Amino acid sequence: MFSQQNSNKLSIFSEQVLKDLNSLLDNVTPPDSKVIVFLEKNIYLALDRINILANAAIGRKNLVGFFRFQENVDCLFAHHVIYFLNPDVEKLRTFVVHLLSYTHHFPKAVPQVYFVPQKPLMIEKIIESDFKLNETFSELKIGEFDFDMISLAEDLFSMEQPLIFKHLFLDGDTTSLKWIARLLLKLQSSQFGAIPMIRGKGRNAARVVNILKRLQDEVGRDFLSNTPSEVEALYIVDRTLDLVSPLMTQLTYEGLIDEFYGISCSEVTFPFSLNESAPIGGTSSQTEVLDSFDKVFSEIRDKNFIKVGSILYQKSVWVKNHYERRKEVRQLKDLKEFMKGLPEMQDYHRMISQHTVITSEIGKITQGLEFRKKIQIEQCIVQQMNDKEVFEFIEDMVYRKDPFSHILRLLSLYSIVNGGLKSKEYDFFKESLMLSYGIPQVMNAFIIMESCGFLTKYEGKTSYPLLRKQFRTWNASLKEQQPDDIAYAYSGYASLLVRLLEKLLLSNHSESAIDNIMNLLPGEKSEIRNTVEVVGDSRAIMFFVIGGLTSAELSSLRFIQTQMANAGKYRRIIVAVTDVCSGKRLLSSIIPFDLDV
């Protein structure tokens, strides 16, 4: 949990972002000219979540509004059209088309584009040389907007940059490593103080540590003393150390919501109404924000889904009993006390009702034979057993023309665990998929998946059996009703990355133990030592994952924190990620076409 002091620091960070946005909007000329702002979805949601957009709009009569980049609002006139975009080369054409469409309707509109969090030189060159926008718009302004982190929960920071995995592991563009290093310097200098030990594991993690060291050297020792040190150690890891976990189906409550409906910056759109009185079979949808303000969600988000129904039932009985107390009230002062707490109780009852609806809809899927069979196949794969049954299941999926993403996900899972597919199976599935989903799409997908290490031909013995043993990534004796291990989040499977941090936490900061643990995994490593002393009793460990972490893995980390606290060894775990990912979003970020066909 964050202290009030940390909450205040986060508020200061938000205030700076708001100040920068207000300054940008104040600089349009003349001051009364109308302004319309388009933001990419992840940027819009992140700024909206911390109330930046609402606060920036206060008192601005000339502001037409803030809109998501995808929204079609060409009919709204403005003198200035401003864009906030991710620095992604492949999305530039979409931006150019949008800008040309808007300025076709309003030829006198002056455009500005800001890349978040920084403006790569390559992006600017493409805009100027390939699209020649500077010739079309003589007053075009190209800049950057320094917004690189928000807090999604008390224990979770996110850069909300879902394309970083693609940039690093497909495009080979390492620009984002500088953003990460800069962010980690900012976190030390303004929020958590200098961190005594910083270790990176994995090629990109090691690079970040080296860049961070140069930045610290440039800043000098001043950053070491300005803020009291609260974090004992920072471990930075590459997602590619463990590509298995995001491909597994998450089985926590929040994880399944993300799997089926997709959560972006805590926002999710359900394809049904959350009102229990809504007509059965209705087509209405409802968008909700799932965060700590929802007390019921906070209590059940990290639970394995099999336990959620009974928890909600117990809560509904408790609320009913609370309402029944009204009949027992005899004194006026007791009635006043009851009525005082009634609004909060009614709100809690509404939350229970909403999550009961969500649970019911998820249950319709998870109780189905197809879903249960898929989970069984995933578990067979990570245990490296029943290959014949696995291939027959995937083959049936191809013949049924299941969503392409589902098939790629299982094939990739098998490939990573087994060091690739043997030529016979690789060629068979490739040909079968081309017949069902089209030659160009499948060829393109296979090339991309191979480049990122997801789907390859078998070339030699895999190291996975050794890692499975060393990190206990499968727990055959798991107690799902009363879990005592992080494997509950996947009903038997344990994330290798989470096991890594668990081992590091149990090492008691022994240098030799930490080195031995780090050496269990392949890849480069690097470290920084800062000569500082951590203050206070509530010490923390920070875990930064380059390429994203899943909701189920976050739940597993919270479980470790709880277990350690129960054992009298409390350590606050702070998680920082490039984004909260899922298998579907990870694959969608690297494949340039719709995978749900």
CATH number, domain containing residue 67: 3.40.50.2060
Say yes or no: 448 and 526 in one domain. no
pLDDT of residue 4: 44
pLDDT of residue 340: 64
> Residue 197 has which token pair?
């030990």
> How do strand 572-577 and strand 267-270 relate by DSSP bridges?
unpaired
What DSSP designation does 491 have? T
The per-residue pLDDT for range 275-311, each reduced to its tens digit, is: 876 665 556 899 999 999 999 999 999 999 999 999 9
The per-residue pLDDT for range 10-32, each reduced to its tens digit, is: 566 788 899 999 999 999 888 88
Say yes or no: 155 and 143 in one domain. no
CB-CB contact of 112 with 81 (8 Å): yes
pLDDT of residue 351: 95
**Stronger pLDDT, 539 or 452, i.e. the higher one:** 452
Q: How far apart are CA 429 and CA 418, in angstroms?
A: 16
pLDDT of residue 512: 85
Q: What is the mean pLDDT of residues 418-434?
A: 97
pLDDT band at residue 2 under the 50/70/90 scheme:
very low
> Residue 3 has which token pair?
């202290």
**530 part of a folded domain:** yes
- Range with the poorest average pLDDT among 4-8, 305-309, 481-485: 4-8
Burial class of 377 by CB neighbour count within 10 A (0 to 12, 13 to 18, 19+): buried
Say yes or no: 183 and 233 in one domain. yes
> Residue 276 has which token pair?
């229990």
Say yes or no: 315 and 407 in one domain. no
What contacts 588, CB < 8 A, 6 or more positions away? 405, 595
Say yes or no: 94 and 226 in one domain. no
Q: What is the CATH number of the domain that holds 339?
A: 3.90.830.10
Give the chain's end-to-end CA distance (angstroms, integer).
42
pLDDT at 1 over 50: no
The per-residue pLDDT for range 50-93, each reduced to its tens digit, is: 999 999 999 999 999 999 987 777 689 999 999 999 998 888 99
pLDDT of residue 336: 64
Kindly tell me the sign of the dihedral angle through the C-alpha atoms of 507, 510, 511, 512. negative
Indicate the number of domains in the chain. 4
pLDDT of residue 3: 44
CB-CB contact of 502 with 486 (8 Å): yes
Q: What is the mean pLDDT of residues 101-108?
A: 93
Final residue before a domain boundary, out of 362, 397, 431? 362
Alpha carbon dihedral 529, 530, 534, 535, in 10-degree steps, equals 180
Say yes or no: 357 and 269 in one domain. yes
**441 part of a folded domain:** yes
Say yes or no: 409 and 503 in one domain. no
Range of the domain at 171: 151-243+477-585
Count of Cβ atoms closer than 10 Å to residue 419 Cβ: 17
pLDDT of residue 513: 86
Q: What is the mean pLDDT of residues 306-328?
A: 85
pLDDT at 145 over 90: yes
DSSP three-state, residue 502 = helix
The per-residue pLDDT for range 327-382, each reduced to its tens digit, is: 666 666 666 666 666 778 888 999 999 999 999 999 999 999 999 999 999 999 99
pLDDT of residue 205: 98
**471 part of a folded domain:** no
Say yes or no: 128 and 180 in one domain. no
Say yes or no: 492 and 396 in one domain. no
**510 part of a folded domain:** yes
> Residue 234 has which token pair?
């920072």
Q: What is the mean pLDDT of residues 88-110?
A: 92
> Residue 321 has which token pair?
């009993």
Q: What is the mean pLDDT of residues 143-155?
A: 92
Q: How far apart are CA 510 and CA 490, in angstroms?
A: 30
Note if the pTM is more than 0.85: yes
Q: What is the mean pLDDT of residues 474-490?
A: 92
**92 part of a folded domain:** yes
Residue 156 CA, chain-centre distance (Å), reads 10
Q: How far apart are CA 597 and CA 589, in angstroms?
A: 16
Final residue before a domain boundary, out of 335, 362, 389? 362
DSSP three-state, residue 540 = strand
- Range with the poorest average pLDDT among 9-23, 233-247, 473-487: 9-23
pLDDT of residue 72: 74
pLDDT of residue 208: 98
The per-residue pLDDT for range 388-419, each reduced to its tens digit, is: 999 999 999 999 999 999 999 999 999 999 99
**513 part of a folded domain:** yes
Say yes or no: 316 and 442 in one domain. no
HSE, side-chain direction, 13 A CA sphere, residue 35? 23
The per-residue pLDDT for range 181-223, each reduced to its tens digit, is: 999 999 998 888 899 999 999 999 999 999 999 999 998 877 6
pLDDT at 537 over 80: no
Q: What is the CATH number of the domain that holds 169?
A: 3.40.50.1910
Final residue before a domain boundary, out of 99, 126, 147? 147
Residue 547 CA, chain-centre distance (Å), reads 9
Say yes or no: 566 and 452 in one domain. no
Burial class of 170 by CB neighbour count within 10 A (0 to 12, 13 to 18, 19+): middle
pLDDT at 225 over 90: no
Say yes or no: 177 and 118 in one domain. no
**238 part of a folded domain:** yes
pLDDT of residue 443: 97
CB-CB contact of 478 with 466 (8 Å): no
Q: How far apart are CA 27 and CA 37, in angstroms?
A: 14
Q: How far apart are CA 18 and CA 60, in angstroms?
A: 14
**408 part of a folded domain:** yes
The per-residue pLDDT for range 170-183, each reduced to its tens digit, is: 999 999 999 999 99
pLDDT, mean over the chain: 91
